[in-house]
Structure 1
Amino acid sequence: MTRTDLDPKAAAPRRNPRPAMLALAGAAVALALTAGIVPRWQGHAVLQQRAQAAQTPIVSVVQPRAAAAAHDIILPADVRAYEDAAIHARVNGYLRHWYADIGTPVKAGQLLAEIDAPEVADQLRQARADEATAAANYQLASTTAKRWQDLQATNAVAQQETDQKVADMNAKAALLAAARSNTSRLAQLASYTQIRAPFDGVITARNVDTGALIDAGSAPGQGRELFHISAGTRLRVYAQVPQDVSAAMGPGTQAWLTLPQAPDKRYPATVARTAGAIDPVTRSLRVELDVDSQDGRILPGAYAQVHLEVGAEHAGLDLPANTLMFPAGGPTVAVVGPDNTLTIRHVALGRDFGTHVEVLDGLQASDRVVVNPGDGIVAGMTVRVAAPAKRDPA
């Protein structure tokens, strides 16, 4: 009996463990390679995607909307009194007394001050004496001429002598007329010693006191201004309207004013007249509006803002001003197509609203327009569209 017969384990063949160990080692290496290389491959792919995405610009877009048929323009305005005058003296003298101080409401013809001018009074008395002399001489010449005419009718005197008496009468009549005109002139000059208000208004300045020396005239270096008067119940408001909207301005156009001290209040006004011509320096039209003083709430000389409503016959599309580009060929915009590629379009501009403009041609309401296009924006570029930009209220 052999050993194999006695031991069953000894009769079975012996296995070699090396192939199993090699298989296990290969599997471990494969797992290691898979754990190391695959993530790197994935990371490289992600990096490539990110690099490609970084090369694609991100833009914000906005869609045009219908422009308003009418809009308000706000212009700085100058408020002035409807009537405003500087009052000067017409005669030399000393101020005897003044009767109206600054801020005093006065009526037309009301006495403001009196000037003491004795020289004018003496000249007036002399003129009246000269007038009386001229009247007496004319009366004598008239009587003499009538008598000589009666004598000449009976051929008692010569025609030549009668003509001389009639001519002397006419000369004396001319002298009387001159004397009366001189008296009237001096009487009018004497009336100027009383300074009176030319119209209803308010005294806005008083520059003299009792006893001050008064010089006649209003030219520089002559007489100083005695009083300044303004009519404050009705005011004139002046504004410069830009040329592009000047055609819409005309008498009767409704407007309103706002004041810095009361920005929440509107004061109605009406365009009364325009200059009828564009100022070649400012390229604007001067308009004048009438406005009530609102019981003194609007004062002459104040700064105000005038709001004018300007309409358009055919309103276009409204677009933010920061979407425009201005190359040499005219204004353009960048439009994002359905496939996210850019096209550059030329547009025709209409009204300028400040932060937004009116586009008359070149766009559709459904177009997506790039906001703040950079210098690198070119036609055919592929872009990514961010969230739509918010529009400010018009």
Structure 2
Amino acid sequence: MRRFIFIVTGLALASVLAGCGRSEQKTEDIRPVRAIQLAASQQQVTAEYSGNVQARVESQLGFRVGGKIQTRKVDVGSLVKPGQVLMQLDPQDLRLAQAQAEASFKSAKSNFELAEFELKRYQELRKTNAISQSAMDAKNTAFESAKASFEQAQAVFKTQSNQAAYASLTSDVEGVVTAINAEVGQVVAAGSPVVQVAKAGELEVVVGIPENNVDVVKRATKIEIRLWANPKEIINGKIRELSPVADAATRTFIAKVSIIDPTPKQTALVKLGMTAAVQFLVNTPGAFVKVPLTALYQEKGVTSVWVVEKGAVKLVPVQIGGVSGNDVLLTSGVVAGQTVVTAGVHVLNPGQRVSILPPEPKPAPAEPYLTSQNLLAPQSANPTVVQSQGAVK
């Protein structure tokens, strides 16, 4: 038994020594990757911002005189027509003032008629030299004074009559009541907004545009509106107004986008106050290279891609001009025709040999919703990626 153990041990030791004498054969590490060949073309970038539907004309109505609200005849959501009474003030004081002005008017009218009659009588007497010229001049002066007093009283009476009519607040347009700012029993000053009425007709979407994308919005070749309640329905729009100054609170430039040529279905869908997303579509002035986001490699704050040349990879810094869906638009660093790695970028080393895998089936294209201003302006040395704010998908 002991002899058998010695024989086995000797054979094992000989095998180890024989293995140590052989030289190991090294195999080259070839990493499989996925890659695409770059192509340059004109791109369509999109800026999308959320906003809300408003009427083009929305009026803040108030009484033209002050007083205590006696009745309210409408509620929020009420449909109103021109001339319809919305609220009424207590008219007692206004009616008393009107009655006083009417009495003054009647008194002034009587004095004027008497002065006119006296003037005519004195004119006849003057023709026969029955009265002096000084007496005639006095009658002329009395007539002119009575006439002025009559005209003044007449104007005051008309003014007070209007004031009494102002106790009733009426709608100037056909529309819908969107807000009530005062209630029965409340004393309001002249001009204070008490009812808000949105005029029926043209609707628009109001959005805030960041200052770095104002030029993008101005160059939009097409504008699409999608309601949050029905995002599949695309409604055409156009910029009606773009504020020249930034809003003091949001620091954005307010854009009003009108809804143009809506179909009956779209007209029924769009309601005041709805949330909507507005897309501004702009074609880039030149051709740009587009790569997937997975092709980017970040190292020490530098964005690069792996370019395949002669079966090996090298790291090439690139400049990003914008984002479109799951792809990025490159403004420099690579050119059309080069092959770029799109999967496996974080396991590669410079000079490493790679083998390109066959392409995967293409998924459904993602809808672009982001953009960058520098794609539409002269290229800067350090372009930055600008994402649209408040995107509603």
TM-score (norm 2): 0.69
Q: Deviations over 1:283-322 (max 9, x none)?
A: 7543211125944422222211112221222231113456
Taking the aligned partners of 2:18 and 2:139, their CA distance within structure 1 comes to 144
Other-structure match for 1:184: 158
Other-structure match for 1:11: none
SS in structure 2 opposite 1:45? coil
Other-structure match for 1:17: none
SS in structure 1 opposite 2:202? strand
In the alignment, structure 1 residue 268 sits paired with structure 2 residue 242: no
Change (3 A) 1:205 1:245: closer
Other-structure match for 1:366: 337
With 235-244 and 250-259 compared, the bigger mean Cα shift is at: 250-259
Unaligned runs of 5+ in 2: 1-9, 367-393
Q: Which amino acid aligns with 1:107?
A: K
Other-structure match for 2:390: none
SS in structure 1 opposite 2:207? strand
Displacement of 1:163: 4.7
Q: Find the structure with the greater CA-based Rg.
A: 1
Q: Which amino acid aligns with 1:309?
A: L
With 352-361 and 186-195 compared, the bigger mean Cα shift is at: 352-361
CA contact (8 A) 2:311 2:354 kept: no
Q: Deviations over 1:150-205 (max 9, x none)?
A: 66677776666555544443333333333222222221221122232221112344
Change (3 A) 1:114 1:286: closer
Taking the aligned partners of 2:34 and 2:278, their CA distance within structure 1 comes to 36
Q: Equivalent of 2:278, from 295, 306, 317?
A: 306
Map 1:181-330 to 2 at 5 A. 181-205=155-179, 212-217=184-189, 225=194, 227-243=195-211, 245-247=213-215, 249-250=217-218, 254-276=222-244, 285-291=253-259, 294-321=266-293, 323=296
CA contact (8 A) 2:307 2:314 kept: yes
Other-structure match for 1:73: 47
SS in structure 1 opposite 2:287? coil
SS in structure 2 opposite 1:360? strand
Q: Deviations over 1:250-283 (max 9, x none)?
A: 5996423222222222233222222245669877
Q: Equivalent of 2:316, from 315, 321, 344?
A: 344
Displacement of 1:143: 4.2
Taking the aligned partners of 2:118 and 2:90, their CA distance within structure 1 comes to 44
Other-structure match for 1:130: 104
CA contact (8 A) 1:204 1:230 kept: yes
Change (3 A) 1:157 1:357: farther
Taking the aligned partners of 1:72 and 1:150, their CA distance within structure 2 comes to 90
Change (3 A) 1:281 1:116: closer
Taking the aligned partners of 2:21 and 2:125, their CA distance within structure 1 comes to 149
In the alignment, structure 1 residue 173 sits paired with structure 2 residue 147: yes
Change (3 A) 1:61 1:161: farther
Taking the aligned partners of 1:233 and 1:33, their CA distance within structure 2 comes to 99
Q: Which amino acid aligns with 1:382?
A: G
Other-structure match for 1:92: 67
Q: Deviations over 1:82-101 (max 9, x none)?
A: 23234444342452x54434
Taking the aligned partners of 1:234 and 1:117, their CA distance within structure 2 comes to 36
Taking the aligned partners of 1:334 and 1:237, their CA distance within structure 2 comes to 44
Taking the aligned partners of 2:219 and 2:241, their CA distance within structure 1 comes to 5
Displacement of 1:327: 6.9
Taking the aligned partners of 1:141 and 1:339, their CA distance within structure 2 comes to 117
Other-structure match for 1:5: none
TM-score (norm 1): 0.69
CA contact (8 A) 1:340 1:384 kept: yes
Structure with bigger RCO (C-alpha 8 Å, 6+ apart): 2
Other-structure match for 2:380: none
Taking the aligned partners of 2:132 and 2:300, their CA distance within structure 1 comes to 103
